[in-house]
Amino acid sequence: MRITVLDGHALNPGDLSWSPISSLGDFLVFDRTPPQLVANLIGNSEIILLNKIKIDESVLSICPNLRYIGVLATGYNVVDTKACRAHGVTVTNIPSYSTDAVAQHVFAFILNWTNRVSIHCEDVKNGGWVKNPDFCYWKEPLYELSGKTLGIFGFGNIGQKVAKIAKAFGMNVIAKVHNEKSFLGEEIESVSLEELFSRSDFLSLNAPLTDETEKIVNEKTISLMKHGAYIVNTARGGLVDENAIRFALDSSKIAGYATDVLVHEPMDADNPLLRAKNCVITPHIAWAAKETRARLIEIAAGNIRAFLDGKARNVVN
């Protein structure tokens, strides 16, 4: 059984072991695969694993041995699942592996704004405290989270974890859910989309990218927001209109935008957010804690074992 990983570097640049997967067959890893070489590197593999590599009819039609595609992520939009079904290829994903890490990243962004740790640390190292006549000082206003309202768009596993952390900080939590029958838990209020934008001091985006959610943050919805509110995006770049975000930052309509994801990744040199004021960008690392990546490898191995045993799990097609 040939198992090939087409873009393994992001998941495992060398600090983890592939052994949970490599023990299952004839194993080969490519750090990266150029689009024009996808079919060639798949070769006669029955099983392939990938993250951002696109698989469509043009690839499937010339890889007749392929029987299984394991997406090393929760989102699987890179794979044409209908074409895979037509070719008898099973497609699986990795659900719920990064919940804790992504929720943690949401609050790394939020606390960066409220406590301004990096700004004050830098000033202290530049001699600001040495020169100051007082025992304390602050370069920018500091804020408590207690009593502030956090709005959550997308109330799946990650959204629920974000809500739990927010409640621990004493925040008021409101959420827009897809299914109005969803259980929100105690003291979490289900609101309309308009209320979500208009009432949030901090808005956390935790929804998948779909036709319905694409550019849900746009000029119109931003106009509903409080002057000086903040937006956090650890979901998908396509949830926002990046030009509208840039305008809202430049006009100070919103006080800050923090994102781990962009519409195009890697980042385009002309991305409107690159030099926007009060914009914090990290390179899609919310999921990348070492423990999280190790968990992903274990789940991926379990998915393959289940498939080989004729009991495929986490199937998305």
Catalytic positions, written as ranges: 236, 265, 284
Which residues are bridge partners to 259 per DSSP?
233, 281
Contact between residue 173 and residue 188 where contact means Cβ atoms under 8 Å apart: yes
Name which of 53, 41, 54 is nearest 4 in CA terms: 41
- φ and ψ at 151, to 5 degrees? -100, 135
Kindly list the strands in the beta sheet with 149-153, ordered across the sheet, starting from the edge strand earlier in the chain: 188-190, 172-176, 149-153, 202-205, 229-233, 254-259, 279-281
Helices (H), the chain: 19-22, 38-42, 57-60, 81-86, 99-115, 117-125, 128-131, 157-168, 193-199, 219-223, 242-250, 290-308
Using CA atoms, how far residue 127 sits from 43, 196, 207, in Å, is 60, 43, 43
Report which residue type is found at 198: S
In the chain, the largest separation of any two C-alpha atoms, in whole Å, equals: 75
What are the Cα distances from residue 94, in Å, to 81, 111, 150, 159?
A: 15, 29, 28, 17
Q: How far apart are CA 20 and CA 297, in angstroms?
A: 7
The Cα 207–Cα 214 span in angstroms is 10
Query: 3-state class of 29 per DSSP?
Result: strand
Closest CA to 68 of 309, 311, 307, 316: 307
Rounded to 10°, the helix 99-115/290-308 angle is 160
